[in-house]
Amino acid sequence: MAIEGFINLAGIIAMCLLQYPALTQAQAIWNSYQGWLRTRSSDIPSEGVVQYELSKNFGKIKI
């Protein structure tokens, strides 16, 4: 039971870490996204798009 709770908590934290840049930096993410989407369903990128962009540009990020 404790292991499942820990894994769920880690998943919640990971999703929050992907949703925060999606909400605050949506335009920058869409401008740098070079992948293919059949249709863009909203102005806010999905967690998958954010994950792709963060993994692609991880070494280039300046805080």
Q: What is the 3-state secondary structure (H, E, C) of 10-54?
A: HHHHHHHHHHHHHHHCHHHHHHHCCCCCCCCCCCCCCHHHHHHHH
pLDDT at 63: 53
Query: What's the CA gap between 7 and 37, in Å, rounded?
Result: 30
pLDDT tens for each residue of 3-61: 999 999 999 999 999 999 999 999 999 998 888 888 888 899 999 899 988 888 776 65
